[in-house]
Amino acid sequence: MSVLLCEDVGGSRADDRAAIMHRLIMGFVCASFLIVSGCAFDLVHIQQVPVAQTTISADKPSWRLGADISLIPARGNKIKLKGGTAWHYVCTIEQGDVYKTKDQIVSVRASNIYEAYIVISSAKMMGFYLPLEKTFSPLREPTPIVMEFI
């Protein structure tokens, strides 16, 4: 009789442990799901400022980039512009003149990808103009560039 009682107690302890483990696993799965569905994989968004107005000037010459340059956006991945690429004027925004090239793909990348034009002011790269979003995405800091006018 006493042996049977001992076995019963041991069995109930094992059941308790299994129940606790089950709860812990379920809690972990639920927490993981909430974290993943809430924010994971979309953590990095680029910084964007709406562009209120664009104007076009007639006398902006095209130019070539004198040397390779690495640019660090305020948020997002590093961007490399290749030396020798030709840049053509598109428009002017509050932050500077907007240029584009056909010699390489320029895109600002974070969780999503945005094809971009560059924005120049006083021979410094200020950031990027995103034509679909109509926004300006700044660099961490303005970066001097070598412009060879064509």
Among 19, 27, 104, 146, binds another protein (CB under 8 A): 104
Among 42, 68, 94, 148, binds another protein (CB under 8 A): 42
Rounded Cα distance, 87 and 101, in Å = 5
Comparison of 95 and 135: residue with beta carbon closer to another protein: 135
Helix and strand counts by DSSP (H, E) for the chain? 1, 12
Contact call for residue 107 and another protein (CB under 8 A): yes
Question: At a CB cut-off of 8 Å and minimum separation 6, what does 3 contact?
Answer: none
Contact call for residue 114 and another protein (CB under 8 A): yes
Contact call for residue 115 and another protein (CB under 8 A): yes
Among 69, 74, 124, 133, binds another protein (CB under 8 A): 133
Q: Which stretch binds another protein (CB under 8 A): 14-22, 48-56, 71-79, 124-132?
A: 124-132
Q: Which helix (H) or strand (E) holds 90?
A: strand 86-93
Closest of 96, 105, 85 to residue 129, by C-alpha: 96
Q: Which residues form the interface with another protein (CB under 8 A)?
A: 32, 36, 40-42, 104-105, 107, 111-115, 130-133
